[in-house]
Amino acid sequence: MPWSKLKDSDNKTNAGTSPKRFPRRSRHGERIIEGIITANGLIAIVVLVGVLFLLLRTGLPVFSHTPPWEFFFGTRWYPVSEPPTFGIMPFFVSTLWVAGISTLIAIPLGVGCAAYLAEVAPAHVREAVKPIIELLAGVPSVVMGFIGLALLSPYVQSLFNLNTGLSGLTAAIMLSLMSLPIIVSVSEDALNAVPHSFREASYALGATKWETIIHVCIPGAISGIAASIMLGVGRAIGETMTVLMVAGGALAVPASPTDPMMPMTAAIASGIGNAVRGGPQYQALFAIGIVLFIMTLFVNLIADRVLERQKRKFART
């Protein structure tokens, strides 16, 4: 009875109109927004391809006057002598020293800090410390350079008995501080992603907190930690201003980390102002840019891969 009645009244409300349909409405607004979002996505790709294209077009002609062998392995960079020589070995080695040492410093500090925050620190300490570390990421690099110049370099100078405190080591220390935030925050996320049940199992077997961190938590998060280190290295390789200010800017191939040096970024930044647009030096500087681009691209690609693996690792639970 109620069923038929319901049906009846239903028909009544719809009286006059034909059976219910779903008339298509035009949604111009929707389309426009979709278009804008798609365009935004494309812009990023276009810009990247454009940058690469520009780099290659401006940089590659360097090989018309300097053979690749001389460019990559030459130890002399004399852009204004006659004939000019463009060997990027000093810059390349400097970058390796600075990035390498800063990574060596940043790994134990960063991972240790992340392990402390994720495993040891009580909640209120974590809440307080994490934003502070992330704030460190926001310090402009010129300010970091200034700190290195004014505060750190005198210490480095007196500690190692150097002629100048402006050295690769000084730059590396500042860079390690700058890559710390990303290492800490990505590593901490990775540690937090390790299921709690692993820790419980470890403690229940009589492992101490330290053993649990070393043998369970860190191995469990190792790909995330590796990725964070890669991202930190990427930052250290690409950082310019700090390095320009405190690395010392010497043109010789550095033999020790305490030598003054000029990493590739600093070489580009300091050279580009004097270079004649389109001239041989200009081309050589862009070619350094290509090398840098490839280096950071590789580091970031590896980091991406490793992070992806970390995400899949614990998908089961």
Partner 1 sequence: MNADVFPTNNGSSHLNETKLRSQDVSLFYGKFQALRSISLDIPERAVTAIIGPSGCGKSSYLRLFNRMNDLIPDTRTTGHVELDGIDIYQRDVDVVDVRKRVGMVFQRPNPFPMSVFENVAFGPRRHGIRNREELSDIVERSLRQAALWDEVKDKLAHPGLALSGGQQQRLCIARVLAVEPEVILMDEPCSALDPVATLKIEDLMRTLCSEYTIIIVTHNMQQAARVSDVTAFFMMEDDRAGVLVEAGPTSGLFTNPKQKTTEDYITGRFG
Residues engaged in binding partner 1 (CB under 8 A): 122-123, 195, 197-208, 211, 215-216, 219-220, 313-314, 316-317
Confirm if 269 and 245 have CB atoms less than 8 A apart. Answer: no
- To partner 1, the closest distance from the beta carbon of 196 in angstroms equals 9
Residue 251: count of CB within 10 angstroms of its CB: 16
- To partner 1, the closest distance from the beta carbon of 222 in angstroms equals 10
Residue 37: count of CB within 10 angstroms of its CB: 10
C-beta closer to partner 1: residue 73 or 314: 314
Give the helix/strand (H/E) hosting 61: none
The three-state secondary structure class of 193 is helix
Confirm if 217 and 208 have CB atoms less than 8 A apart. Answer: no
C-beta closer to partner 1: residue 78 or 203: 203
Closest of 246, 294, 254 to residue 93, by C-alpha = 254
Strand partners, 85: 78
C-beta closer to partner 1: residue 240 or 310: 310
Which tokens in the block code for residue 59?
């940089």
- To partner 1, the closest distance from the beta carbon of 313 in angstroms equals 7
Which tokens in the block code for residue 31?
């389309």
- To partner 1, the closest distance from the beta carbon of 205 in angstroms equals 4
C-beta closer to partner 1: residue 140 or 195: 195
Rg (CA), the chain: 28
C-beta closer to partner 1: residue 14 or 208: 208
- To partner 1, the closest distance from the beta carbon of 312 in angstroms equals 12
